[in-house]
Chains A and B, each alone.
Chain A
């Protein structure tokens, strides 16, 4: 008997993902434990290992790379040597009516409850599909689709090129995020001391730990300390109420070739800048290699998105739910500043903090920004 290959669950919130292609050829012999196919969920691409051994027989008409797949869905079989593909295919066809003609003729039926739920969540039913074997979209399918929606991009950059369907899901998620009532507080940090500190520490850490300290590392530490200094902003909106974060994890927006990822530096308030730099290096490498684990992107209080390296002077970012803060960092450069009655050239770092107004009011946001600016302008505190 052929063994079903199912889509596994990735992370606690994912109910579906984007099929990223087979890692074995159809007909190739697979040994249990070998990477079998790639699956992307919550911005994480995972290599899924075979649980059994057999000859790979992808499901006829099964998902192509880039297609949305749901947890539990059968995408292929590991067949015994000599087992006929036709048998499997016909068995599968019998079990699951071909979506072809009917689906083309009219949209998949959805229960009244599913429709109502989709409407309240602002989700297009077209982006939802029934569970395997299901003829109609039910509420569970909508909730699964909602939960699996990718986190919105923290910056308005070109989105990763996934299949059109995946893109629609991302778009819906972004739309939802953008409906969060945002406001913005902004300041230009006097970065003179910060730049000097970084220059001084760079060779030290390079020698000791083999990592290059970046301004981002200092920002991560500063943001975590500012969260601790201003716990009233270290909160988020959940099920209609504002709840506190216990931790001060910081997310860092990382652009990979295809994708925008937000890996997390845990407990950044308790790590030294060296440890932060090392951790940052590791997760950025993992992100670029597509080896981020499901949990690696969870639990941050805020996200730092730095587009300075791309020549952006200043910008504003969309929140990354459920976070209620995101810091958009612009290019560090010398800019004219009025000092006394004179205009002087000074190294500045433009910061723009986007805030979820449901959780945080203007003055609280201002105090948070103030704490952040003070730390960055007198950055020796980062070493305490």
Chain B
């Protein structure tokens, strides 16, 4: 039975790929097309032991994995043809295949992340106390990428149910693996991470299947991950239409064609020849039908081009009472309270970070939670920001709700690609079938002589990315409500806490409440000037406005609270009233939030403006250490007050 399945899968992949190559030549495929010809035994052998609820994360060369995991052929063709009935609704093409309903979590145009995402799926499966496994397929090229190192290490230390399947086809595009690896023995590297590594003949389907069976059993039994190196060869060019014989010879390719895994299985089972012939016929018919069907399939319509960037928003309202005047707690205590409440109610929430376990976080962001929720939900990590961010991505893709505590948001930049290319894009690329409730938190801002690697803000940078929510609270009350909302919403959220305000206390209701994203707070009403201030600039702006009030000048201060989505309406309404707009930020001017607000107001509120829009910003320099230098790059209250006065008087 297994032999039949493996044979059918390999044959299906082969015939489908050859038909896709033809379709590529006929220009039915609009972008790249990386075929899997020659490597079929690996997908077929590994997937033989997977259930629909096991999660596969794949690469740019993923058609075979998709078909082996059960993707209907016509959905593959339709996707490459760019049709609405494609598995990614025409959003992905060859490199971005999504069918999470059958455990095809996604194939990726970026080399490496599949390793981290499979690790994350493993983490979430373990947390949910299931025996599901995560599988990463990746090429030899990925083994030289940091994701390989960080992912294997993370999976090993936490004994996660993951299969790392390296398809060593000996080239990364045209670069021979021999030339790219100090130690070209991939399986042997497993030893370095403390996990079993096996090397198999990747063109021997049965050998692959056997290795995979063992690895899957180990994983389901809680014994941890396995690295399987499958030695193989792709016998078509890297991508359809690319030249092939600059980096390898025709003879070498011919030689590997003769080692065809399909013929090999046939040869090993002469008694099944008739059965195999029948399968060949069935497969040929089904691929032909799929190709034809896909060609006739409808195109997606332009109005679908921007749907599913975010999950449908839950409609929540900020409670009418506001902060009230009850007990006062710090901003950190406010988010801790929110985190505790939500962790109590939602078992899928877990926290990753350095020192967030027993220690309770550098800033006390998780103080006391380890004792309540244990090590698996308050996971101290190695210093592998990219690794655990990619892990968080994979965990969210299979239903987990990770909170990644970066301490300082500067460290988040080490995970830039995982956030921008993976986490932010996943809901869109999967047409909303994946939800990405990932909360990334850390402190921002200049102060405490923290110098340049512990003082960045970066919210403008990240708010540029469709798919991300970016929150910058400036009061304990806002922090708790927004944090609670972040933990209940389905979108990835960057929660950036101004370090200089973390210890500042303010009234916070003890009961749980939510503050929706995209609703600015008018911190102080006024008539002559609108000041939009962010983070630590909010209390500074309020103090400066107080100075001006003493001079008879009336300033309205608005805290957007969320940078993405941005509440432009509240700002516009204020500018309509005052006619003057000042934007106060600690970050440098170039392409910052203020530039965006200025553009929106100039565009939509042009006739409201009685003076040029002005910005108060930090200096365009990395943050220096020495106190007088540090003070020189941050706008002071006095500078803010001056700018306010000048703009009110500007004629």
The residues of A with any CB-CB pair to B shorter than 8 Å are 111-116, 130-131, 133-136, 138-140
Distance of A357 from chain B, by nearest CB (Å): 30
Residues of chain B with a CB closer than 8 A to A136's CB: 611, 651
13 contacts between A and B (CB under 8 A): A111-B579, A111-B609, A112-B606, A112-B608, A112-B610, A113-B579, A116-B608, A130-B651, A136-B611, A136-B651, A138-B579, A138-B611, A139-B579
A179 to B609, CA, bound (A): 28
Tell me whether B304 is interfacial, beta carbon within 8 Å.
Answer: no
In contact, B608 and A113 (Cβ under 8 angstroms): yes
Distance A135 CA – B607 CA, assembled complex (angstroms): 18
A131 cross-chain contacts in B, Cβ below 8 A: 651
Establish whether residues A113 and B651, one from each chain, have CB atoms under 8 Å apart when the complex forms: no
Contact A133 B609 (CB under 8 A): no
Give every chain B residue within 8 A of A115 (Cβ-Cβ): 607
- In the bound complex, how far is the Cα of B611 from the Cα of A324, in angstroms? 37
CA distance A131 to B610 in the complex (A): 13
Please tell me which one of the listed residues A112, A116, A134 contacts residue B651 in the complex, with CB atoms under 8 A apart: A134
* Cβ-defined contact, B609 with A135, below 8 A: no
Q: Is the CB of B607 within 8 A of A138?
A: no
Q: A111-B609, A115-B607 known; 13 other A-B pairs, CB under 8 Å?
A: A111-B611, A112-B606, A112-B608, A113-B610, A116-B607, A130-B651, A131-B651, A136-B611, A136-B651, A138-B610, A138-B651, A139-B579, A139-B610
Residues of A near B608 (CB, < 8 A) are 112-113, 116
Q: Which residue of B lies closest to A111 (CB)?
A: B610
The CA-CA distance from A140 to B606 in the complex, in Å, is 17
Chain B interface residue count, CB cutoff 8 Å, equals 8
A140–B610 alpha-carbon span in the complex (Å): 9
Kindly report which residue of chain B lies nearest to residue A120, judged by CB atoms.
B607
Which residue of chain B lies nearest to A141 when distances are taken between CB atoms in the complex? Answer: B651
Q: Give Cα distance in the complex from A134 to B649, angstroms.
A: 9
Question: With a CB–CB cut-off of 8 A, which chain B residues contact A133?
Answer: 651
B646 to chain A minimum Cβ distance, whole angstroms, is 13
Q: What per-residue 1/0 map shows which CB atoms of B608-651 lie under 8 Å from chain A?
A: 11110000000000000000000000000000000000000001
Q: In angstroms, how far is the closest chain B Cβ from the Cβ of A162? A: 26
B599 → chain A, closest Cβ, in Å?
A: 15
Cα separation A278 to B651 with both chains bound (whole Å): 49
Q: Which residues 593-614 of B sit at the A interface, judged by CB distance below 8 A?
A: 606-611
Q: Which residues of A contact B606 (CB under 8 A)?
A: 112
How far, in Å, is B118 (CB) from chain A's closest CB? Answer: 55
- CB closest chain-B residue, reference A137: B651
Name B's A-contacting residues (CB within 8 A).
Answer: 579, 606-611, 651
Top 10 A-B residue pairs of the complex, sorted by shortest distance between their CB atoms: A134-B651, A116-B607, A113-B610, A111-B610, A138-B610, A112-B609, A112-B606, A113-B579, A139-B610, A112-B607
Give chain A nearest CB distance to B500 CB in angstroms.
35
CA distance A135 to B610 in the complex (A): 12
- The distance in angstroms between the C-alpha atoms of A199 and B280, with both chains bound, is 128
Q: Which residues of A contact B609 (CB under 8 A)?
A: 111-113
Which residues does chain B contribute within 8 Å of A114, judged by CB atoms? 610
In the complex formed, the residue of B with least CB distance to A134 is B651
Min CB distance A99 to B, Å, is 14
Instruction: Give the shortest distance, in Å, between B4 (CB) and chain A (any CB).
Output: 75
List B contacts of A135 (CB < 8 A): 651
- Nearest-Cβ distance from residue B357 to partner chain A, whole angstroms: 56
A235 to chain B, nearest CB (A): 30
Assembly CA distance A114 to B607 (angstroms): 8
| A114, A131, A133 — most chain B CB neighbours (10 Å) | A114
Nearest opposing residue in chain A for B651, CB measure? A134
**Complex Cα gap A133–B651 (Å):** 8
Cα A131 to Cα B609 in complex, Å, equals: 17
B638 smallest CB distance to A (angstroms): 23
Contacts of B610 in A (CB 8 A): 111-114, 138-140
CA distance A135 to B649 in the complex (A): 11
A115 CB to closest chain B CB (Å) equals 7
Q: How far is the CA of A114 from the CA of B611 in the complex (A)?
A: 9
Cα–Cα distance between A113 and B579 once the two chains are bound (Å): 7
The smallest beta-carbon distance between B147 and chain A, in angstroms, is: 51
Closest to B608 in A: A113
A contact residues around B611 at 8 Å (CB): 111, 136, 138
CA distance A138 to B610 in the complex (A): 5
The smallest beta-carbon distance between A96 and chain B, in angstroms, is 12
Q: Considering the chains assembled together, what is the distance between the CA atoms of A112 and B612 in angstroms?
A: 9
Nearest Cβ on chain A to B607's Cβ, whole angstroms: 4
Q: How long is the Cα–Cα vector from A133 to B646 in the complex, in angstroms?
A: 13
**B609 nearest in chain A by CB position:** A112
Q: What's the minimum C-beta distance from A216 to chain B, rounded to whole angstroms?
A: 46
Instruction: Report how far A140 CA is from B651 CA in the complex, Å.
Output: 10
Chain A contacts for B651, CB-based, 8 A: 130-131, 133-136, 138
Bound together, the chains give a CA A265 to CA B609 distance in angstroms of 43
Taking the nearest CB of chain A, how far is it from the CB of B328, in angstroms?
41
Query: Which residue of B is nearest A138, CB measured?
Result: B610
Residues of chain A with a CB closer than 8 A to B607's CB: 112-113, 115-116
Report how far A101 CA is from B110 CA in the complex, Å. 62
B581 shortest CB reach to chain A, Å: 11
How long is the Cα–Cα vector from A34 to B133 in the complex, in angstroms? 99
The CA-CA distance from A259 to B610 in the complex, in Å, is 36
On chain B, the residues within 8 Å of A116 by CB distance are 607-608
A170 to B134, CA, bound (A): 83
B572 CB to nearest chain A CB (Å): 13
Choose among B606, B608, B610, B611 the residue with the greatest number of A CB atoms under 10 Å from its CB: B610
Cα distance A146–B537 in the bound complex, in angstroms: 39
Q: Residue on A with the closest CB to B606?
A: A112
User: How close is A120's CB to chain B, nearest CB, in angstroms?
Assistant: 10
Q: When chains A and B are docked, how far (Å) is the Cα of A138 from the Cα of B651? A: 7
Question: Smallest CB-CB separation from B607: which chain A residue?
Answer: A116
CA of A322 to CA of B429 in the docked complex: distance in angstroms? 64
Q: Which residues of A sit under 8 angstroms from B579, Cβ to Cβ?
A: 111, 113, 138-139
**Min distance, Cβ B573 to any Cβ of chain A, angstroms:** 14
A139–B610 CA distance with the chains assembled, in angstroms: 6
A133 to B649, CA, bound (A): 10
In the assembled complex, the CB of A145 is this many whole angstroms from the nearest CB of chain B, namely 14
* A142, closest chain B residue (CB): B610
Q: How far is the CA of A131 from the CA of B648 in the complex (A)?
A: 13
CA distance A317 to B49 in the complex (A): 98
Give A136 to B651 CA distance when docked, in angstroms: 5
Question: B residues within 8 A CB of A139?
Answer: 579, 610
Min Cβ gap B23→A in Å is: 55
Tell me which residues across on chain B come within 8 A of A113, comparing CB atoms.
Answer: 579, 607-610
Interface centre among A113, A136, A139 (most CB of B within 10 A): A113
A188 to B651, CA, bound (A): 56
**Within 8 Å CB of A111, what residues of B?**
579, 609-611
Q: How far is the CA of A116 from the CA of B607 in the complex (A)?
A: 6
Interchain nearest-CB distance for B604 vs A (Å): 12
Chain B, Cβ-Cβ closest to A115: B607
- A130–B611 CA distance with the chains assembled, in angstroms: 13
Q: How far is the CB of A369 from chain B (nearest CB, A)?
A: 44
Contacts of A112 in B (CB 8 A): 606-610
A134: chain B residues within 8 A (beta carbon): 651
C-alpha spacing A140/B649, complex, angstroms: 11
Min distance, Cβ B313 to any Cβ of chain A, angstroms? 33
A62 to chain B, nearest CB (A): 19
Cα A136 to Cα B606 in complex, Å, equals 16
